[in-house]
């Protein structure tokens, strides 16, 4: 009996030993050799290989570890229960308990990134907006930021948390309805600045100082983004679309520049801010971005890529030129009668529509380059295949680059950051700002004068940078025009200097395809460079204390020597030239209502300016649509002749 | 702090007006009838119908004729003492050690610089103590008797002239005593823990003047402001500091004392709302899930009015301290800097015809959310008497019978003010924090005694492990009765009864998805069985104490003096359950052959 028992015990011990062996092989901890962890079981090796050991992930917190141990393997249940509790506290507005519960959740799930992301969002966005007092709201936004900062300690290789920190600091403080108050509170929150410095933003007081030499939220957010980029440079993974990930830092600089302009800082400081914004945007454009197709693109390289593609296509077309008739002949066999007719008929016997159809047919026939190559002599095929392959790659590159540029509106921001540096834009903005101040102090006369100066400058800006008419800047101008109109109790007349802009914008906002409108825009684009010289004469436009009425006099023009032609007062001739039912003084809605149809271009010598106008138009291209469009209602048909 | 309507009832209102007595009586009747029927069925199976009835009747007669009248307190005490000693032998004092270890590490998780740290600290100590003590009672009460019966040590007692009443009562008493000792120790430790964790001191940074309030230095991320001539600072983070001002060489020196957490004695009024036409209504829901607060629209006839009783000068003195915790809801942001505005009107509740006899002028205020907004209303106010402008006396003109109406309106168009009954109160006096803390522990003690009584009751007829499961089930039912109600109130959110919920867990289907087993008949059958189970459980929850309503830690944490009426109600409820457990335990013990 005893023997049996003994054997059984031996068996148990043996079984335990056998079971321990795989455990040992799997779980043996690694040992430190020369300061580095090495060896160990399979699990230890995997931890080391994928860098998911506690020490690799981030700070080890005894409170967190002991809490997780204390749940005795029921961490999941405990977390689920705490999440439910937190939700209940939030619904019932027990916000102090909510905040305390979030701390407990964080201790239980310190490496679960979604905890930090969603609960910080809860604090900064969902809870903060429950408070009526903006100072309390600000305090809760900070709580969310503090929560994220804690998350970064536990997860040192997760750039997304730093990225969110940038986002919260920027967008919650700088984009909310109470942004003016939030930004002001942040600027003066020395205690918070100190805590941010101790939490890793050591360069806060050197690189995030705003125009008033206090830390600015947009520039602070930018520092967080840069920290996230540093982590990526050190090997961390980006779990986000790379365009949006990398665009935020330069955008921070842009938004900062916008913000200080809104706050009335309209001098060299804002110009400098925009120049830095443009610089960082160009850096962003040079960065290699991973696309969802798996290749990498540089957003700034689009022009180069387009040119390279064009060169390659030209080269390929040259190569296949001798065999095109043969290709078409072969293709003709499989075409229907219409197609055969288009191929067979000489171009001078085709109508416009037929010509267009033929063009498309030929393009489609020749578009399959690899098919076309089959008709080439064998000696040329190798070169053609290489060329066709290169074209295909180049087309992909162009398409990917263009799509990724669209994602971040690259073109607009590039343009905007250049345009805002211009003294004319600055002057235009300052004049609107001052006009608004005058309205606030009920000095309507001074406000009107400022506005009217601003319209001239905005006109120059839109002509130099027509793309600006499509974006938020234009919306701001439209709002300002509305303020101007209600202050002066006027309606828009056709001789208003920004009439064309308003008409363009009105159709654009109506989201309608309008041929004339598109033509107008194209014409502005065509003319844009010619306005460069006018943009270089800031000092003259800056002459704040000289009233510059909408209808400039000759003396005004001489004094400023700026060759913007003034909008003319409605003349009888213009009235006559207007289509029936529309008078020159017909009001134009500033809303998105259906706009007045653009008029057919009318050139009327009698409506041209009497003085410098003739000289000004001399250098303009003959009969360009610009002349036509600008002549409507007497807006400037031309400007200073371009230096040719 | 949230207070439900029934928490405002005085003891009399609960006991008589709202049928507390009647409900208790009915519950007792149902239990007696049920107990009798079940006992008879069991006895009938064992002894036959006639003999069975005789046994039952004899037991009932014994209780009232022999055992109860002859129960000796001396013997009961002796048994209690034995239970006490037994508990000590079973090393229950280890609980104190566990608690101390818990306290040692609690500091890691409690942030003294949070918004109102005292709430976190007190919630922590009270909750931990509550759970520990309930588990202790559970463990002690359920294992004792079954172990004695199993080891046959019970015979050393039952062979002596000891009655079943004395055994049950003695056990409850003994375990109650050890629980009380441990609870006292835990209470003292908790008090020290809270005090040590939150103690801090401020210096004076800016002395108060007549024109400007003073300010203390910052400590634990807060400061206090103080008024010239005041004997204490304003409250911040749930506490204040006493101030001692002394004059030295013509200069006033201020000494700021240690923190004090007041237990305010609130006087609550009954709340009613009027709608946009000035007619009685229930207030608006602005879209929040929580329906605790109701809202009134700004710049309309909507109002919230509280009617208070007992507003007398001897209770409140020469000024009325009024506290509000209203909330604001904006439909437009409007002026971001300026808070939503409201108006306070003090009015005499009685009306002569259509004429208001007396009311104060409108006192404008700006809402302060999630903070106590304190006002001191002077005795003499500008106002109107019979529609004539006049100076009015708060007590003589507005509350001659001690009844005062306080009306709140929202001033801003498009904005709303939210309130519940407890969101506007008159503050009569403060009581010491320690007294309130003690009352909080009395509540825990009552819960412990209920668990001990139930544990002893179950242990009279079940084995130790089964008794602990049964008591645990009672505890769970008592804590989670709300979840059972959810099944009946909002079936679409509950995820079904136990069978449906189990299926959902396995198939990973959330509560908002259809069960979709592909067989409608099967789904229906499952739901019907669940319905039967849930109805049975619901019936059971009616017979077990609701531990959520017996918990009073919020009162202590929020610094509101626990209402005496509420505490008395809890005492009566606990006593009722004690009687029930004692009686049931007695009968079961009598039916066992070990009993004398």
Q: Is A63 on the interface with B (CB under 8 A)?
A: yes
Of B116, B289, B292, the CB nearest to A96: B116
Residue in chain B lying closest to A105 (CA): B109
* Cross-chain Cβ contact B120/A92 below 8 Å: no
Of A131, A134, A177, the CB nearest to B370: A131
* Cross-chain Cβ contact A107/B109 below 8 Å: yes
Q: Are A167 and A249 in contact (CB under 8 A)?
A: no
Contacts of B515 (CB under 8 A, 6+ apart): B496, B500, B503, B504, B509, B523, B526
Of the candidates B585, B588, B576, B538, the residue with the CA atom closest to the CA atom of residue B29: B576
Sheet holding B204-206, edge to edge: B204-206, B214-216, B225-226
Of the candidates B59, B28, B21, B171, the residue with the CA atom closest to the CA atom of residue B579: B28
Long-range contacts of A97-104 (CB under 8 A, 24+ apart): A97/B119, A97/B120, A97/B123, A98/A122, A98/A127, A99/A123, A99/A127, A99/A143, A99/B114, A99/B115, A100/B110, A100/B111, A100/B114, A100/B120, A102/A147, A103/B109, A103/B111, A104/A67, A104/B109
* Cross-chain Cβ contact B369/A131 below 8 Å: yes
- Give contacts of A92 with chain B, Cβ < 8 Å: 2, 290, 292
Residue in chain A lying closest to B111 (CA): A100
Q: What is the DSSP string of A76-142?
A: HHHHHHHHHHHHHHHHTT-HHHHHHHHHHHHHHSTT-HHHHHHHHHIIIIIIGGG-SSHHHHHHHHH
Q: What phi and psi, each to the nearest 5 degrees, are found at residue A5? A: -60, -45
Instruction: Express each pLDDT in A154-202 by its tens digit.
Output: 998 899 999 999 999 999 999 999 999 999 999 999 999 999 999 889 8
Measure the CA–CA gap between B325 and B419, rounded to whole angstroms. 8
Residue in chain B lying closest to A108 (CA): B109
- Given the structure tokens 């679960």, which residue do they identify? A112
Q: Are B129 and B191 in contact (CB under 8 A)?
A: no
Residues B421, B422, B427, B430: is their CA dihedral positive or negative? positive
pLDDT score at A292: 92
Strands B294-297 and B263-268, by their bridges, are unpaired
Q: Is A103 on the interface with B (CB under 8 A)?
A: yes
Residue B258 three-state SS:
coil
pLDDT score at A619: 33
User: Partners of B308 in the beta sheet?
Assistant: B404
- Give contacts of B369 with chain A, Cβ < 8 Å: 130-133, 136
Residue A623 or residue A241, greater confidence = A241
* Cross-chain Cβ contact A67/B109 below 8 Å: yes
Q: Is A181 on the interface with B (CB under 8 A)?
A: yes
Instruction: Express each pLDDT in A488-506 by its tens digit.
Output: 888 888 778 888 888 888 8
* Cross-chain Cβ contact B290/A97 below 8 Å: no
* Cross-chain Cβ contact A96/B119 below 8 Å: yes
Measure the CA–CA gap between B308 and B428, rounded to whole angstroms. 12
* Cross-chain Cβ contact A107/B105 below 8 Å: no
Of the candidates A382, A379, A362, A360, the residue with the CA atom closest to the CA atom of residue A370: A382
Shortest CA gap A90–chain B (Å): 10
Q: What is the mean pLDDT of chain A?
A: 80
What element of type H or E holds B491? helix B491-494
Burial of residue B226 (CB within 10 Å: 0-12, 13-18, 19+) is buried
* Cross-chain Cβ contact A97/B109 below 8 Å: no
> How far does chain A reach from its first CA to its final CA, in angstroms?
116
Q: Is A386 on the interface with B (CB under 8 A)?
A: no
* Cross-chain Cβ contact B370/A93 below 8 Å: yes
Q: What phi and psi, each to the nearest 5 degrees, are found at residue B4? A: -90, 160
* Cross-chain Cβ contact B114/A62 below 8 Å: no
Residue B540 is encoded by which pair of tokens? 């059971």
pLDDT higher than threshold 80 for residue A565: no
- Give contacts of B109 with chain A, Cβ < 8 Å: 63, 67, 103-104, 107
- Give contacts of B120 with chain A, Cβ < 8 Å: 96-97, 100
Residue A17 is encoded by which pair of tokens? 């030993």
Q: Are B157 and B74 in contact (CB under 8 A)?
A: no
Q: Give me the interface pTM, i.e. the ipTM.
A: 0.78
Q: Are B234 and B217 in contact (CB under 8 A)?
A: no
Q: Is A100 on the interface with B (CB under 8 A)?
A: yes
Q: How far is CA A7 from CA A1, A11, A15, B11, in A?
A: 10, 6, 12, 72
pLDDT higher than threshold 70 for residue A603: no
Q: What phi and psi, each to the nearest 5 degrees, are found at residue A368? A: -85, 85
* Cross-chain Cβ contact B337/A96 below 8 Å: no
What region does A202 belong to: left with phi over 0, alpha with psi -120 to 50, or beta? alpha
pLDDT higher than threshold 60 for residue A636: no
* Cross-chain Cβ contact B119/A99 below 8 Å: no
pLDDT higher than threshold 70 for residue A229: yes
- Which of B107, B108, B368 would you mutate first to test chain A, the one with the most A CBs within 10 A? B108
Measure the CA–CA gap between A493 and A497, rounded to whole angstroms. 9
Measure the CA–CA gap between B359 and A299, rounded to whole angstroms. 72
* Cross-chain Cβ contact A95/B370 below 8 Å: yes
Inter-chain contacts counted by CB atoms under 8 A, chains A and B = 59
What region does B435 belong to: left with phi over 0, alpha with psi -120 to 50, or beta? alpha
> How does residue A595 score in pLDDT terms, banded at 50, 70 and 90?
very low
Indicate the length of chain B as a whole number.
596
Of A62, A100, A132, the CB nearest to B367: A132
pLDDT score at B148: 81
* Cross-chain Cβ contact A97/B108 below 8 Å: no
Long-range contacts of B330-335 (CB under 8 A, 24+ apart): B330/A132, B330/B414, B330/B415, B330/B416, B331/B414, B331/B415, B331/B416, B332/B414, B332/B415, B333/A177, B333/A178, B334/B412, B334/B414, B334/B415
pLDDT score at A634: 31
Of the candidates B230, B255, B234, the residue with the CA atom closest to the CA atom of residue B244: B255
Q: Is A128 on the interface with B (CB under 8 A)?
A: no
Of A67, A100, A181, the CB nearest to B336: A181
Q: Are A388 and A313 in contact (CB under 8 A)?
A: no
- Give contacts of A134 with chain B, Cβ < 8 Å: 336-337
Q: Which residues of chain B carry a pLDDT beneath 70?
A: 113, 593-596
Residue in chain A lying closest to B218 (CA): A191
A63-79: average pLDDT? 82
What region does B81 belong to: left with phi over 0, alpha with psi -120 to 50, or beta? alpha
* Cross-chain Cβ contact B109/A181 below 8 Å: no
* Cross-chain Cβ contact B336/A134 below 8 Å: yes
Measure the CA–CA gap between A517 and A519, rounded to whole angstroms. 5
Measure the CA–CA gap between A296 and A289, rounded to whole angstroms. 5
Most confident range (mean pLDDT) of A66-75, A319-328, A587-596 is: A319-328
Shortest CA gap A165–chain B (Å): 21
* Cross-chain Cβ contact A96/B123 below 8 Å: no
Q: Are B498 and B530 in contact (CB under 8 A)?
A: yes
pLDDT score at A514: 75
Measure the CA–CA gap between A159 and A240, rounded to whole angstroms. 10
* Cross-chain Cβ contact B336/A177 below 8 Å: yes
Q: What phi and psi, each to the nearest 5 degrees, are found at residue B429? A: -165, 170
Beta carbons within 10 angstroms of residue A27's beta carbon:
13
Residue B342 three-state SS:
strand
Instruction: Express each pLDDT in A376-424 by its tens digit.
Output: 988 888 999 999 999 999 999 999 999 999 999 999 999 999 999 988 8
């Amino acid at each position: 009996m005893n023997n049996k028992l003994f054997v059984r015990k031996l068996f148990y011990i043996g079984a335990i030993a056998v079971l321990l062996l795989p455990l040992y092989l799997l779980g043996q901890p690694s040992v430190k050799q020369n300061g580095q962890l090495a060896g160990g079981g399979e699990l230890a090796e995997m931890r080391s290989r994928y860098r998911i050991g506690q020490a690799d992930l981030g700070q080890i917190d005894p409170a967190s570890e002991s809490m997780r141990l204390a749940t005795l393997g029921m961490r999941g249940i405990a977390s689920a229960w705490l999440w439910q509790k937190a939700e209940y506290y939030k619904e019932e507005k027990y916000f102090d308990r909510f905040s305390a519960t979030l701390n407990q959740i964080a201790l239980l799930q310190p490496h679960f990134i979604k905890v930090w992301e969603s609960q910080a969002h809860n604090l900064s966005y969902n809870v903060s907006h429950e408070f009526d007092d903006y100072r309390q709201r600000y305090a809760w936004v900070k709580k969310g930021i503090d929560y994220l900062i804690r998350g970064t300690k536990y997860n040192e290789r997760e750039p997304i948390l730093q990225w969110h920190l940038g986002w919260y600091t920027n967008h919650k403080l700088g984009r909310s309805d109470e942004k003016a108050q939030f930004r002001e509170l942040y600027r003066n929150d020395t205690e918070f600045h100190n805590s941010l410095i101790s939490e890793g933003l050591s360069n806060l007081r050197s690189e995030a100082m705003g125009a008033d030499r206090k830390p600015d939220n947009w520039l602070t957010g930018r520092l967080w983004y840069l920290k996230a980029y540093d982590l990526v440079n050190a090997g961390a993974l980006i779990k986000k679309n790379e365009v949006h990930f990398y665009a935020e830092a330069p955008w921070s600089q842009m938004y900062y520049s916008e913000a200080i302009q809104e706050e009335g800082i309209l001098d060299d400081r804002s110009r400098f801010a925009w120049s830095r914004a443009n610089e960082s945007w160009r850096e962003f454009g040079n960065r290699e971005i991973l696309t969802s197709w798996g290749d990498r693109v540089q957003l700034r390289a689009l022009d180069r890529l387009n040119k390279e593609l064009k060169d390659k296509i030209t080269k390929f077309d040259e190569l296949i030129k001798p065999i095109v008739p043969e290709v078409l002949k072969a293709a003709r066999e499989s075409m229907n009668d219409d197609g055969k007719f288009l191929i067979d008929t000489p171009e001078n016997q085709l109508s416009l529509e037929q010509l267009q159809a033929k063009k498309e047919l030929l393009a489609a026939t020749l578009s399959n380059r690899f098919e076309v190559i089959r008709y080439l002599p064998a000696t040329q095929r190798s070169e053609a295949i290489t060329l066709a392959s290169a074209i295909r790659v180049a087309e992909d590159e162009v398409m990917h680059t263009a799509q990724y540029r669209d994602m971040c509106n690259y073109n607009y921001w590039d343009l905007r950051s250049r345009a805002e540096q211009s003294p004319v834009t600055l002057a235009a903005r300052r004049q609107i700002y001052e006009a608004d101040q005058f309205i606030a102090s009920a000095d309507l006369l001074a406000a009107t004068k400022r506005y009217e100066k601003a319209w001239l400058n905005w006109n120059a800006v839109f002509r130099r940078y027509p793309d600006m008419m499509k974006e938020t800047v234009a919306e701001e101008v439209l709002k300002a025009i509305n303020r101007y109109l209600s202050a002066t109790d006027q309606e828009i007349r056709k001789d208003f200097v920004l009439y064309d802009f308003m008409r363009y914008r009105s159709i654009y906002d109506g989201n309608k395809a309008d041929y004339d409108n598109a033509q107008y825009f194209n014409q502005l684009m065509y003319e844009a460079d010619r306005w460069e010289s006018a943009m270089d004469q800031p000092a003259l436009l800056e002459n704040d204390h000289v009233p510059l009425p909408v209808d400039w006099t000759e003396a005004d023009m001489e004094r400023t020597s700026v060759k913007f032609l003034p909008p003319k007062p409605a003349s009888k001739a213009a009235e006559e030239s207007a289509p029936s039912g529309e008078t020159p003084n017909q009001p134009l809605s500033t809303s998105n209502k259906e706009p007045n149809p653009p008029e057919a271009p009318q050139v009327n010598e009698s409506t041209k300016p009497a003085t410098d106008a003739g000289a000004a138009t001399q250098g303009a291209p003959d009969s360009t649509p610009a002349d036509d469009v600008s002549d409507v209602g007497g807006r400037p048909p031309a400007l200073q002749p371009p230096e040719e | 702090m949230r207070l439900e309507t029934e928490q405002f009832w005085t003891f009399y209102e609960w006991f008589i007006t709202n049928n507390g007595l009647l409900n208790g009586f009915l519950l007792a009747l149902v239990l007696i009838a049920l107990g009798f029927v079940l006992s008879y069925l069991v006895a009938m199976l064992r002894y036959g119908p006639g003999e069975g009835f005789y046994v039952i009747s004899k037991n009932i007669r014994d209780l009232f004729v022999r055992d109860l009248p002859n129960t000796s307190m001396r013997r009961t005490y002796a048994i209690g003492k034995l239970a006490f000693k037994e508990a000590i032998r079973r090393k229950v004092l280890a609980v104190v050690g566990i608690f101390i270890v818990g306290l040692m590490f609690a500091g890691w998780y409690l942030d003294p610089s949070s918004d109102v740290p005292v709430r976190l600290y007190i919630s922590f100590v009270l909750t931990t103590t509550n759970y520990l003590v309930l588990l202790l009672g559970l463990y002690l009460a359920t294992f004792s008797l079954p172990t004695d019966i199993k080891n046959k040590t019970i015979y050393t007692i039952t062979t002596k002239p000891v009655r079943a009443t004395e055994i049950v009562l003695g056990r409850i008493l003994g375990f109650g005593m050890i629980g009380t000792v441990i609870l006292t120790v835990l209470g003292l430790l908790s008090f020290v823990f809270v005090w040590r964790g939150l103690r801090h001191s401020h210096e004076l940074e800016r002395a108060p003047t007549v024109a400007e309030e003073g300010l203390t230095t910052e400590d634990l991320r807060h400061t206090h402001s103080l008024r010239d001539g005041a004997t204490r600072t304003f409250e911040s983070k749930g506490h204040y500091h006493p101030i001692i001002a002394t004059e030295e060489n013509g200069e006033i020196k201020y000494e700021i004392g240690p923190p004090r957490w007041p237990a305010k004695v609130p006087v609550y009024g009954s709340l009613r709302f009027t709608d946009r036409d000035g007619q009685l209504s229930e207030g608006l829901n602005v879209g929040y899930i929580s329906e605790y607060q109701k809202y009134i629209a700004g710049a309309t006839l909507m109002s919230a009015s509280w009617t208070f009783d007992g507003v007398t000068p001897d209770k409140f003195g020469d000024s009325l301290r009024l506290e509000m915790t209203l909330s604001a809801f904006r439909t437009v942001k409007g002026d971001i800097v300026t808070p939503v505005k409201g108006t306070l009107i003090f009015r005499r509740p009685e009306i002569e015809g259509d004429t208001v006899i007396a009311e104060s002028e409108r006192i404008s205020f700006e809402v302060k959310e999630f903070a106590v907004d304190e006002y001191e209303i002077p005795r003499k106010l500008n106002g109107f008497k019979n529609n004539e402008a006049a100076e009015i006396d708060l007590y003589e003109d507005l509350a001659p019978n001690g009844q005062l109406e306080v009306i709140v309106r929202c001033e801003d168009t498009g904005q709303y003010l939210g309130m519940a009954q407890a969101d506007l109160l008159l503050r009569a006096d403060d009581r010491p924090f320690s007294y309130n803390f003690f009352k909080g522990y009395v509540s825990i003690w009552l819960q412990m005694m209920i668990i001990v009584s139930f544990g002893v009751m179950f242990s009279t007829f079940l084995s130790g492990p089964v008794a602990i499961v049964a008591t645990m089930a009672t505890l769970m039912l008592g804590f989670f009765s709300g979840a059972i109600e959810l099944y009946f109130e909002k079936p679409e959110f509950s995820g079904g009864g136990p069978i449906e919920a189990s299926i959902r867990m396995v198939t990973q289907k959330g509560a908002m998805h259809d069960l979709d087993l592909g067989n409608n008949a099967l789904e229906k059958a499952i739901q019907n069985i669940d319905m039967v189970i849930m109805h049975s459980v619901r019936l059971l929850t009616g017979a077990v104490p609701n531990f959520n309503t017996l918990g009073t830690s919020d009162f202590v944490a929020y610094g509101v003096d626990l209402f005496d009426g509420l505490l008395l109600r809890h005492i009566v409820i606990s006593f009722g359950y004690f009687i029930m457990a004692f009686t049931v335990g007695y009968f079961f013990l009598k039916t066992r052959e070990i009993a004398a």
